Every structure is written in C-alpha cells, then in structure tokens.
Structure 1
C-alpha cells in the first residue's frame, strides 16, 4: 500500500506520538509499503536516517511549552496528498495539523485512519489554553467524524470517545521493543552508583511538564530506604527539582542506556493523569519492573492490581507514597509483580502491533 502519515509530532522530538510514528513508518517500510510522513518543522532540524521521505511544514511553539511545535494551516497538504496518491491516510494524534489533513483527505475521497493518542481536553485544562473541555471535545468529534475509523489505545479512552459522539471507534494499542527493554539489562554497577546504601530504587521516566504532575512524588522522595530517580527533561524541571529535593535527576536517556535504567529499578512510578496509553509503563513492565500508576486512562488496561503493580487515585500524593512504601517493604512482592509484568507484555512487539495496524488500514480501504 501507499500510506501517508500526518502527525502532530515527529523525531527528533521525544514523546509517545513521535516514537510510535517512527516505529510504524519503519515497520511499514520494512513490510514493503510506500510511506510519506508529514510533520511540523521542529526547533532545529538535523539530518536523519529515515528510510522514508518526511515533509516538514512551518510551525510555531505551543503556548506554555515552546519545544512542542504546532504546524501552521496550509493548503499545501492537498497538493502533497494528490501527488503521492496514497491508498490510506493515517492521522497520528490529530488536532491542528491533523484537522487540515482530515479535510484535505476527505476532499480527495481518501480513506482515513485516525489514531487518538493525546488527551487534548486534559492538556487544555492543564495549560489553560483558552479551550474549554466542551469546546475541545466538539473539535475532536468534528475532526474524527471525517475518519473512516478512529482507533483508541485503551478501553477507557475508547469509551470517552464514544461518549462524546465520535463514530466508528476501534482499538489499537502500542508495541514495545522487547529486545531493548528486558530484565536482562539490569546493571548492578549502575544500581550501586544510584543507590550506594542499597536503597530501594524507584524511578520515573518521562517529560517534566505540567500535565505529568511529577511533583506528586514529593512525599515518596522522603521515604526512608528509598532513592527516587527521575529520567527526562522539560519546562517544569526546575520546579520539580525544588519539590523533590532528595531525588536524583539524570536528564534524558535513550536506547540501551535508558533500558539499563529501567531494568535496574525496583519500582517504576508514573504520575500523569492524562495518559491515553502510557508507553513508559509498558517499557518498565517489559523490563520486569512492578508499576505504581494512577487508576485512570491507559494504565488501567496495563497494570493489574495485585499482579503487576498498584493503581492509586489520580492526584493523590499520599496514595503514591503509600503504594511505593508497600512495594519497598516487600522484596518478594516486587519480584513476583516484576515477573508477571514481563509476561504480560512479552507478546506486544512493534512488529505484531504494526501488522495489526496494517489490518486496520485494509479494513478502512475496504470500507471506503
């Protein structure tokens, strides 16, 4: 097939949307399909080794988060689509650029597969963008109504979409690199450098941004016998560092270095309440690490309480601290949960999920 992927974010940006688009584009190319990616131009564009063409459109910074770029509206999209002649158009987390892409694709009579990935109403609330949740949902409903199908990453997100009038909703999760993220990456020397007194090592991996609410770990950072490590960067880093005085901030990590950090943890914690899937939870589970996460959104599908981790009420700092303390006090529980976590995601490879998505493409083409 010939596939155009129109995405709100792409490499070199580091986030779930950019990562999943890169994975899927690579998988499609490896399977012999022709792929074109259309994305906003980042702050600084460096040469990449993409095996497929990438068209960059002019962009502006998102208010309150300057490293996130929003593509400017352009009629050029229609000309690009007409020239490439795609069989299907994939909209990755559509909202701004995706809305223009949906319009252009619909005008050309092209089947559209829309991947809902970002909780825009939640972000609008967190960043006070001037969009109310009601208005955000109206925009989402109108945009996704153009799609041949909309794929949600979790059951709770699918239910939200249906509740707000989005038609033709299906399910498609996310893959995980089980060769990279694996319990065998555990590094005792790294652990000793981070927890020299043999503390229980608890880690957060992700952006340090307002919507992630990492400051909720303030109580957990003070637990005796616990060393909190924070991996990532973002506009809230300074504020979070001031709140989590006892934590170790390691900055962004990628590849094998990130995989060693995951596998060397005793507990993984994620605090953000706006996750439609939460890929870092899945990466931690693939690394054989039990998880503490909020009982909302994507983590509800991923984490099985009493088996692979603990779910807590979103926004409750004391509940996060209690859950971490419970796991820190019981090594046997941590090991059992870690083994079960690995088993739960071992089959969710990007290859398997990529082939599943190709099936959705074919269904969309057939429906159109």
Structure 2
C-alpha cells in the first residue's frame, strides 16, 4: 500500500511525531509498503529516505510561536500532490486547515484521521486550571469538540495512538474507530546500555554522591510538559534527600527553565541528544525517568525509558500512566508539585535491588514500533478493501 501522511506536525527538529514517522517509514518499507509525508517547510523540496519513503516539503509560513513548525495555508498545492501520488490511504493528524483539506479531497484513498494529541488537555485545561474545574473547562470548550466532530465526519476512519486518548475522546462523544497503541524501536533501548561511570559523572555534575537518586527528564520545553513543576518537585524532595535532575531538551520555555534552575546545585539542563546510541546510554544510566505532562496521549519517551530499564515517576492520568508498570513506577497527582515530590521520596525509599528487578521485567513487555506498524497496516488494508467493495457496488 501507498500511504500519504499530510502532516503539519512533522518537523526535522520536532519531537515525538518526527521520531514516530521516521521510524514508521522504514518499517513500512520493510513490510512492502510506502509512506510519503507531505509537510510544511521554509522552501519547496523533496527528501528521499534510505530504505524507502520520502518527505515532500511544501513552502509554508512558520508557526508564529514555534519556528520549528509550519502551517499549511493553501489547499491547492496539497491536493495537487495528493492527486499525483494517488495513495491507497491518506492520513491527517492536524485539527486545523489540513483536516479540512484532506477531508474535502476527492480521491479513491481511505481517509484516516490519526489522533496524536489532545489540544483540550494540552491547552484549555492548562490555561484555565486555576480558574475553573476540569468539568467546567470541558463544557466551556465543547465548541471545540463539536468542531472536531464536523471534520471527522469527512473521514473513513478515526484512529488514536493508544487507550488513554481513546478514553478521553470517547468521553466527549467523539467517534473513535480504532486505538492503535504506539511502540518504540526496541533495539536502540536496552538495560544492557547502563554505564555506571556515566551515572557517576552525571551525579557529580549535579554535585551529588554515588548514592544519590539520578532523575532524567526528556522532552521539548513547552508549557504542557510542566518542567517548572518538575523542578519545583525535585527541589522540594532535594531539600531532605540526595536527588539530582538532568534535563535534556529545548523549546519555547528553555529561557524560563534556565532562569528557574539558576543557582540550583542539583539540577542540570542540557541540549537535546540526537545521537540514538548516546541517548540510549544516558537513559539506561539514570535511576528513573520523571515526567510532568498529564496531556501526553501515549508516552513514547516513557516507553523508551522503560525499555532501558528505568522506573517511572509520572502523573496519574494520561499516556504515561496507561503504560506504567505498577511494580516499577510511582504515580502522583497530576499538576501537583507536592504530590510529585512525595512520589520522588517514595522512589528513593524503595529497595534498589527489588526496584531494579521489577524495572528489568517491565522492560521486556514494552511494545515495539514494528508491532504497531503491522497492526496499523492490517487495519488499513481491511479499510481499503471495504471501501473498494463499496465503490464497486455503487
């Protein structure tokens, strides 16, 4: 099958969506399928990928508050490219202009809307959390749910990236046809990559001894990731315990985070690590991954950490909570720094050998991205066959 993904969220310097698509492209080629991405960019160009697949960048304006991403504005260049590519399946994941461009496109392909995120949780719930209750905010932004329902009616199928997002969207009355839990590239992440010398070096940079608790925070610096809340929690826990935090990432909140941790002896901020082998070694060498976003729909970073043998400290709602193993995780009340600090203290108090054993067992159960791709392609094949029969009968 040829699948074309009209993806406004794809960026060479982006985060989880880019990681997911780049890997999916190679896996689909291995399985005899083709993935072509249509993405916004600063100029028009086409990028071939080794092993199959390609990215078509269409010249588009940048996102005003995050220059890493672009915005599709005109429908014609997108639909013209779709016409020429003639896909079997066309995917879309942006709820704005692309949702309507793809939804209104008249082609033979199965049109699939793939839910990667939840803007209600990532933005509205966060913006107004100190003003109104969760339920009241949901009601106030019911217009957005109704807006989504209108364009989803134009699609043959609506897919989410896991059960957390499926539950959240179904609760709002949105149509969801299938949940396809994501997976990770297992061969890049393993407890075998643990490096005790690297762990000691990172603890030394946090001005802590070898018996300190080394926490790792990974992800783009965006308000929805709640890094300042994580910093607050680590400082609270660190007031009485030897706790260090290494943050890897960058984004629109980097300056704010740098100012927040200035003078903190036990928290260090580093730029993202794009070398997969180096990143895997860092992940396997920490003592736990700490995560702050309750809006996370799936939790790729958490899955990578678990596959690396790391315990998790995560909020009690969202994608990370769904995949967390209860024997090697500590959950805390979402958005609550005091609760997060208590979870850090509980992690520190656990028996290191028993915790390590539980984390190693959890690592063997992490879903692979190949599993996800096989399941998704089988689903799309069934959808394409059903649509072909319908068109033939008509």
After TM superposition, the score normalised by the length of structure 2 is 0.85
2:299·2:319 contact (CA, 8 Å) conserved in 1?
A: yes
Could you give the per-residue CA deviations for residues 233-269 of structure 1, whole angstroms, max 9, x where no partner exists? 1111121233333311121012111111110010111
Counterpart CA distance in 2 for 1:226 and 1:43 is 46
Partner of 1:95 in structure 2? 95
1:180 aligned to which of 180, 183, 188: 188
Higher Rg of the two aligned structures: 2
Displacement after TM superposition at 1:311 (Å)? 1.6
Partner of 2:134 in structure 1? none
Alignment of 1:110-129 (within 5 A): 110-125=109-124, 126=126
Partner of 2:383 in structure 1? 364
Q: Which runs of 5+ in 1 are unaligned?
A: none
**Counterpart of 2:61 in 1: which secondary structure?**
strand
1:149 aligned to which of 143, 151, 157: 157
Which structure 1 residue ranges, 4+ long, deviate > 3 Å from structure 2? 42-51
1:8·1:98 contact (CA, 8 Å) conserved in 2?
A: yes
**Counterpart of 1:344 in 2: which secondary structure?**
coil
Counterpart CA distance in 2 for 1:253 and 1:296 is 27
Match status 1:7 vs 2:22: no
Match status 1:226 vs 2:274: no
Counterpart CA distance in 1 for 2:109 and 2:287 is 48
Partner of 2:323 in structure 1? 302
Residues 204/39 of structure 1: CA separation in 2 closer, same or farther (3 Å cut)? same
Counterpart CA distance in 1 for 2:104 and 2:158 is 17
Counterpart CA distance in 2 for 1:162 and 1:367 is 24
Could you give the per-residue CA deviations for residues 128-161 of structure 1, whole angstroms, max 9, x where no partner exists? 9xxx733332232222222221111232311222
Residues 352/33 of structure 1: CA separation in 2 closer, same or farther (3 Å cut)? same
| Stretch moving more, 280-289 or 64-73 | 64-73
Partner of 1:35 in structure 2? 35
Q: Which runs of 5+ in 2 are unaligned?
A: 129-139, 388-394
Displacement after TM superposition at 1:109 (Å)? 4.3
Partner of 1:284 in structure 2? 305
1:253 aligned to which of 249, 262, 273: 273
Counterpart CA distance in 2 for 1:113 and 1:103 is 9
Counterpart CA distance in 2 for 1:127 and 1:55 is 35
2:111·2:157 contact (CA, 8 Å) conserved in 1?
A: yes
Counterpart CA distance in 2 for 1:95 and 1:353 is 23
Displacement after TM superposition at 1:48 (Å)? 6.5
**Counterpart of 1:289 in 2: which secondary structure?**
coil
Counterpart CA distance in 2 for 1:139 and 1:181 is 40
Counterpart CA distance in 1 for 2:109 and 2:147 is 21
Over the residues paired in the alignment, what is the CA RMSD in angstroms? 2.4
1:215 aligned to which of 203, 228, 231: 228
Alignment of 1:130-209 (within 5 A): 133-196=141-204, 197-198=209-210, 199-209=212-222
1:10·1:22 contact (CA, 8 Å) conserved in 2?
A: no
Counterpart CA distance in 2 for 1:45 and 1:69 is 14
1:351 aligned to which of 362, 370, 373: 370
Counterpart CA distance in 1 for 2:99 and 2:384 is 20
Could you give the per-residue CA deviations for residues 259-304 of structure 1, whole angstroms, max 9, x where no partner exists? 1111001011100121110111100000000001111121222013
Counterpart CA distance in 2 for 1:329 and 1:43 is 53
After TM superposition, the score normalised by the length of structure 1 is 0.90
| Stretch moving more, 159-168 or 320-329 | 159-168
Partner of 2:391 in structure 1? none
Residues 45/209 of structure 1: CA separation in 2 closer, same or farther (3 Å cut)? farther
